[in-house]
Each structure stands twice: as structure tokens, then as C-alpha cells.
Amino acid sequence: MKFQAVKGTRDFYPSDMAVRNWILDGWKKVSVRNGFEEYDGPIFEYLKMFQVKSGDEIVEQLFSLTDRAGRKLALRPEITPTLARMVNQKISSLPKPIKWFSVPRLFRAERPQKGRLREFFQWNVDIIGVDDVLADAEVIFTAVDYLRDVGLTADDVVVKISSRKMLSNILKSIGITEKELEPLYSLLDKRNKLPQENFEQLLNQQIKDPEKRDNVLELMNADSLNQIGQNPILSDAAKDAVSELAQLFEILDTMGVKDFCTFDIGIVRGLAYYTGIVFEIYDKDSQLRAIGGGGRYNNLLKDFGGPDIPATGFGIGDCVLAILLEEKRILRKETLDNELDYYVAFANDKYKRLAIDFTSKIRRAGKSADFSYKSGKLGKQLKEASSRKAKNCIIIGSEIENEQLVVKDMDTGEQEIIDKDKFFKQLKK
């Protein structure tokens, strides 16, 4: 019987693993240089923990299980609830602000499609304990810092930014009730994915009052923050939220990433999870799903039984990101191949033990090295050295009788005869 990988999962052959490590190592490097510390948690948690954040309907989207003691568990579909649990457990001893990042493997029982799988990696960056728009700016900067670091430009990607607090207060100014608010958020979040005619039909079903409906449409058609700020119906709370968003763009300008960012009233980010600034990252041509997104979630720790502490953060998945990097020819195979520092070849069998000895010494010096398990012609070994992307090839032949080695530069083809002891002394340096 032949077995296939489960649909929606991936096998990581060495070349695929090189891509995965290149992306994940880049996430970690950028996180650390922006002052974030790494954390992680268990792959499975109590099912109830995910229900607290997202409700009972989340169960259908999880890989859930019951353990031998009858406890209901689930593979983590995200790591933010784990973050909240961990912070709450040690909240009194953790220095503030808390700047943490994680690169978890996540699982979601949904229909696999382009850019969306059942198993994936996600970069999560969060700042906890800062109720200031500067923290929102910093997480956005960190995301852009990585995208720019791998070679993407403002012509390739865009961060679309809005505010749930602003939207909520404007909708209330229009006369939308609390009862109408939550289902309306869900519809507005889908607006950019629906034909305008379909969107308006669904809006008619939700908002019966034509005046309210026209005001909602006018709001969602606003193309600048300045246009919204001049609306005479804004309440003081709505004006404050507009001002906060304007301040965010000023800080992003100071940070040098404003050219990556734009205001988009259509960024809503789901249901009641977010409480302030929200953003999503897209390819500039909008041909792919969102690369990532996030925002402010000031109620999360309190919802998980902890204190009332503000927080903001984002997540970027590896699936859509990898598609974009490949389309932009950034994931060049030659830059991702595992290269050897040295390949040790031997002219004939009598030098094989020396080849093993030299390879071990090179490895102990911290360099990557390998040799042929099978004795073979020197030309065949050199060909293998080339296929293994070795930078240099050490050839052990008759010169060794005089304590010398032949070192070949595999790029230029130039060969150098060097004293054996001198070679290993240089290697240690």
C-alpha cells in the first residue's frame, strides 16, 4: 500500500527545507534586531481556550481530540490565546513592556487552496503593556522591516491600515445600534471580496433604514483619512480615533516606512477581537490573499482571566509569503541551496582514511565538509564536489608525502598547494 501526505500538509524535502529555514530565520533575525524576545508553547491546548476567544463555531475549524482522561483538546490554530495564557500566569513578574515573538507551527481544519493550508508556519509579533499608538507603529515597522530586508519594495507590497475604534464610533454616529454592529463588521470585512452589487444587497438586508444605509456606503467609499475627518456627523470619540490614526501615519513617516502604508477604511479584521488600529498586508497587485495582518486587541488578557492590559501585534503566514517571494524571483534556488565549505577528495584508496581524518578536523573547526563514501576516480569525486555546491575541494594525493595538500577553488578552478599544518592553523583562525 502506498501512502500520500494528508491533503493540506507539506513534505519538506531538503530544497523545500532550505526555503522554509530561509523564511523562518529571516523572521527571527528581524524580530531580535527590533527588540523582541522569542517564546513558544504547546502544540495542543484545552479546546475551551480557543472557544473563549472565537466561540463555539471555532470547533468546526479545529483539529480537536479527546485524551484518555476525557479532556477535550485541540491542535493550536493560532498562538495568541497561548500568549495570553502564558502572560497571565506570570503577569506580576514580567517586565513591561512585554515584546515577544514566536514562529509556531499551526493547524486549521479548513479547505486547502492557494495560499491556505491545514498546516503552516506563522510569524507572530506582539507588544503588551503599551497603550500608545507608538506600539502599533512599531509592530507595523517590524513587519515592513522584514519585507524590505528580503528585497520587497513599496511597489511590491502595501500595508492597508484603518481603525476599528474609528469605524465603531462613526457607525454609532450614523445611528447603527450595538445589535446591528457585530453582523455589520462581518459584512464590511468581506466588502473587498464581493462584487459591489452583492455587497449592497447584503447591506440592504442588514440595514433597513435607507438613510443609515446611504451613510454607511458613503463612509466605506471614503478614500482618505482627511475626507473622513471633515465629516460633520463625527462624535468626539470618532474625532479622537481619526486623530490617533493620523498620528500613526506621522510616526510611520518618521520611521521611514510610510511609502509602504496607506489608509483603507475597508480593513475591518473580523469580529470583536480588535479594539483599535487594524492593518493587513497585501501584494500591490492584490492578486493573492493577505500576506498577514494584525492590530490592537486591548481586551484579550482580560478575556482570559487576566488584568486589563493593552496589547497590539500581527501575524504573517509562510504560505502566501512564499508564493509572493517566488513570483518576485526572490527565492532564487541557488541562494537557498546548502553549500559545503569543503569537499575532501582522495586520489586513491590508500588516502581514504586520511580523507576521513581531514574531514573530521574541518568539521571540528566549525566548517561544513564532506567526502565520498565510495572509493572512485578523482574526476568523479570532483564532479560530486561540484554537485554538492562545495566552495573548495581538498585533494589528497602524492603531495601528502611532503605534508602538503591541493586546495581547489571550485568557482575559479584555481588550485593552490599548501602545507597541511598551515592549512589547519588558518582554518582554526
Grid coordinates given for 142: 517590524
Q: Can you give the pLDDT at residue 186?
A: 79
- Residue-by-residue DSSP string for 306-363: S----EEEEEEEHHHHHHHHHHTT-S-HHHHSPPPSEEEEESSGGGHHHHHHHHHHHH
* Residues 7-41: tens digit of each pLDDT: 999 999 988 999 999 999 999 999 999 999 999 99
Q: Is residue 53 part of a domain?
A: no
Shared-domain flag, residues 157 and 303: yes
- In whole angstroms, what is the distance from residue 92 CA to residue 334 CA? 49
Shared-domain flag, residues 156 and 179: yes
Shared-domain flag, residues 350 and 412: yes
Shared-domain flag, residues 107 and 174: yes
Q: What is the C-alpha R_g of the chain?
A: 28
Decide if 296 contacts 166 (C-beta within 8 A): no
Q: Is residue 30 part of a domain?
A: yes
Smallest Cα–Cα separation from 401: which of 360, 343, 364, 348?
348
- CA angle centred on 245, ends 27 and 195, rounded to 5°: 80
**Of the residues 280, 314, 333, the one at which a domain ends:** 333
DSSP 418: E
Q: Is residue 204 part of a domain?
A: yes
Name the residue type at position 246.
A
Which CATH number fits the domain that encloses residue 367? 3.40.50.800
* End-to-end alpha carbon distance in the chain: 54
Q: Is residue 303 part of a domain?
A: yes
Shared-domain flag, residues 280 and 403: no
Q: Can you give the pLDDT at residue 110?
A: 85
Name the residue type at position 342.
Y
Decide if 315 contacts 294 (C-beta within 8 A): yes
Shared-domain flag, residues 366 and 307: no
Grid coordinates given for 216: 454607511
Q: Is residue 393 part of a domain?
A: yes
Q: Can you give the pLDDT at residue 54?
A: 64
Shared-domain flag, residues 295 and 392: no
Name the residue type at position 14.
P
Structural domain harbouring 189 = 14-39+79-333
Decide if 62 contacts 47 (C-beta within 8 A): yes
Q: Can you give the pLDDT at residue 15?
A: 86
Q: Is residue 72 part of a domain?
A: no
Domain count, the chain: 2
Q: Can you give the pLDDT at residue 56?
A: 58
Shared-domain flag, residues 242 and 329: yes
Grid coordinates given for 207: 440595514
Q: Is residue 188 part of a domain?
A: yes
**Of the residues 333, 361, 390, the one at which a domain ends:** 333
Which CATH number fits the domain that encloses residue 320? 3.30.930.10
**Of the residues 333, 348, 376, the one at which a domain ends:** 333
Shared-domain flag, residues 174 and 292: yes
The cell 519585507 sits on which residue? Answer: 147
- In whole angstroms, what is the distance from residue 12 CA to residue 16 CA? 5
Q: Is residue 73 part of a domain?
A: no
Q: Which long-range contacts (CB under 8 A, 24 or more apart) does 363-370 make?
A: 365/424, 365/427, 365/428, 367/341, 367/342, 367/427, 368/338, 368/339, 368/340, 368/341, 368/342, 369/340, 369/341, 369/342, 369/343, 369/344, 370/340, 370/342, 370/343, 370/344
Name the stretches of the chain with pLDDT < 70.
Answer: 53-59, 270-272, 333-337
Decide if 128 contacts 52 (C-beta within 8 A): no
Reduced to 3 states, what is the DSSP secondary structure of residue 9? coil
Q: Can you give the pLDDT at residue 196?
A: 83
Shared-domain flag, residues 328 and 407: no
Shared-domain flag, residues 87 and 209: yes
Element of type H or E holding 301: helix 300-303
Q: Can you give the pLDDT at residue 59?
A: 67
Shared-domain flag, residues 132 and 246: yes
Q: Can you give the pLDDT at residue 124?
A: 98
